Amino acid sequence: MPKVAILVDGGFYRRRAYSLFGDVSGADRADELFRYCLAHVDSEAVARKNNTVFRELYRIFYYDCPPLSLSLFNPITRKTTDFSKTETYKWTKDFLDRLTQKRKVALRLGKLAVHSPYVLGYDLVKKLSAGTITWSDIGPNDLTLNIEQKGVDMRIGVDIASLAFKKQVDKIVLISGDSDFVPAAKLARREGIDFILDSMGAHIADDLFTHIDGKRSQIKSFIRKKEE
> Does the CA dihedral 30-31-36-40 come out positive or negative?
positive
For domain 4-71+81-110+151-227, the CATH architecture is 3-Layer(aba) Sandwich (3.40)
> Could you tell me the pTM of the whole model?
0.87
pLDDT tens digits, residue range 52-102?
A: 677 789 999 999 999 999 888 888 888 898 989 999 999 999 999 999 999
Q: Are 10 and 62 in contact (CB under 8 A)?
A: yes
Domain boundaries, given as residue ranges, for the chain: 4-71+81-110+151-227, 111-149
**Spatial separation of the C-alpha atoms in residues 142 and 76, rounded to whole Å:** 9
Query: What percentage of the chain carries pLDDT values higher than 70?
Result: 93
Give the single-character DSSP code of 211. G
Query: What percentage of the chain carries pLDDT values higher than 90?
Result: 54
CA distances from 78 to 72, 84, 115, 188, 198 (A): 10, 19, 19, 51, 43
Q: Are 199 and 177 in contact (CB under 8 A)?
A: yes
pLDDT for 228 equals 54
Q: What is the dihedral of CA 42, 46, 49, 55, to 10 degrees?
A: 40
**Spatial separation of the C-alpha atoms in residues 7 and 160, rounded to whole Å:** 9
Phi, psi angles (nearest 5°) of residue 195: -110, 115
Of residues 49 and 103, more confidently modeled: 103
pLDDT tens digits, residue range 127-173?
A: 888 888 888 888 888 888 888 889 999 999 999 999 999 999 999 99
